[in-house]
C-alpha cells in the first residue's frame, strides 16, 4: 500500500466536470515514480524547488498541462494514459501543479483549452519541469505481472466506471465503501482512468475478500475518502487487469 510511504501518493484530487481522468491517472503514476526516485520526502534542489512545498511536501504534477497541451488526446473530452506518458517524454518534462494549476473547465459550455506552456519553456533545462522516461505496459490479465509492477511504484489503470452492460447503475456511481466485485456488474468496458496504489490479500483466501486499492479523482468526499476497493482475482472485476501502465 503506497499510501503508507510519504509523498508517493499525493492527496486525492477532483477532476470536476472535465473528462480529464486520463490526466490524473498519468500524473499519479509519475508522482509516485518521482518521489521514489528522489527519496521520501524528495530532497530540495535547484531543479525541483517548484515541486516542493515547505509545509506540505510534494505539490504534484500538472494535470492541466496535459488537458491543454497534449495534442494526442482531447482535453476535457477524454484521452489516454499511454499517450499522456508519450507526450510528457517527448516534451522533455512535466510542470508542477503549482506552476500550472488545475482549472475545471468541463461541462456543456466548456471553452477551448489553450496551451500556456510552449515547447521552448518545457525543457529539461527549465526548473519548472522534470524529465519523464518512456512508459511501460504491464502484461494484461496477469496478476503476478501487475503485482510485480506495483511493487515498483503506483500504476495507472483503466476501469469500467460507467453504466453496466445491462444499462443499470454502475457501482462506482453509488459507492460509499466495501469491495466492488464482478457480481456487482462492474465488467471490462474501460471508460475511466485511475491509479492503482496497492492490494490486500485475504489470509483465508475467501473469494471476494482480497482487493485492489485504487485512488480515484472524484474528490475525497467520494467512496472511502477518495479510494475504492475492487475484488482482486482472475475474474478481472472492473477491468483492473486489462490495461495497466507506468
Of the candidates 195, 196, 188, the residue with the CA atom closest to the CA atom of residue 159: 188
Q: Residue 50 gets which letter from DSSP?
A: G
- The contacts of residue 34 (CB under 8 Å, 6+ apart) are 42, 51, 61, 130
Q: Is 21 marked active-site?
A: yes
| Cell numbers representing residue 211 in the block | 482487493
Backbone phi, then psi, for 124, in 5-degree steps? -65, -25
Question: Using CA atoms, how far apart are residues 238 and 181, in angstroms rounded to an integer?
Answer: 8
Catalytic residue among 18, 69, 122, 192: 192
| Cell numbers representing residue 164 in the block | 453496466
Catalytic residue among 21, 69, 76, 186: 21
DSSP H or E segment with residue 227: strand 227-231
Q: Is 192 marked active-site?
A: yes
Answer yes or no: are the C-beta atoms of 6 and 29 closer than 8 Å.
Answer: no
Dihedral in degrees, nearest 10, Cα atoms 185, 187, 193, 197: 90
Answer yes or no: are the C-beta atoms of 160 and 190 closer than 8 Å.
Answer: yes
Angle between helices 21-38 and 81-91 (to 10 degrees): 50
Query: How many angstroms from the chain centroid is the CA of residue 213?
Result: 12
| Cell numbers representing residue 239 in the block | 477491468
Residues with catalytic annotation? 21, 192, 216
Amino acid at each position: 500500500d503506497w499510501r503508507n510511504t510519504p509523498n508517493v501518493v499525493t492527496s486525492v484530487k477532483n477532476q470536476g466536470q472535465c473528462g480529464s481522468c486520463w490526466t490524473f491517472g498519468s500524473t499519479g503514476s509519475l508522482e509516485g515514480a518521482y518521489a521514489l526516485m528522489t527519496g521520501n520526502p524528495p530532497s530540495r534542489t535547484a531543479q525541483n524547488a517548484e515541486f516542493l512545498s515547505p509545509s506540505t511536501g510534494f505539490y504534484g504534477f500538472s494535470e492541466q498541462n496535459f488537458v491543454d497541451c497534449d495534442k494526442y488526446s482531447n482535453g476535457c473530452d477524454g484521452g489516454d494514459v499511454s499517450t499522456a506518458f508519450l507526450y510528457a517524454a517527448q516534451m522533455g518534462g512535466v510542470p508542477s501543479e503549482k506552476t500550472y494549476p488545475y482549472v475545471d473547465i468541463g461541462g456543456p459550455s466548456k471553452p477551448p483549452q489553450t496551451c500556456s506552456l510552449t515547447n521552448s519553456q518545457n525543457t529539461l533545462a527549465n526548473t519548472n519541469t522534470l524529465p519523464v522516461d518512456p512508459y511501460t505496459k504491464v502484461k494484461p490479465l496477469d496478476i503476478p505481472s501487475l503485482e510485480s509492477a506495483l511493487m515498483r511504484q503506483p500504476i495507472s489503470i483503466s476501469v469500467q466506471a460507467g453504466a453496466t452492460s445491462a444499462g443499470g447503475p454502475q457501482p462506482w456511481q453509488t459507492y460509499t465503501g466495501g469491495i466492488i466485485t464482478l457480481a456487482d456488474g462492474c465488467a471490462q468496458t474501460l471508460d475511466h482512468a485511475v491509479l492503482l496504489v496497492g492490494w490486500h490479500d485475504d489470509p483465508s483466501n475467501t473469494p471476494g475478500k482480497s482487493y485492489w486499492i485504487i485512488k480515484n479523482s472524484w474528490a475525497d468526499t467520494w467512496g472511502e475518502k477518495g479510494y475504492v476497493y475492487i475484488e482482486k482475482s482472475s475474474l478481472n472485476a472492473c477491468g483492473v487487469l486489462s490495461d495497466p501502465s507506468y
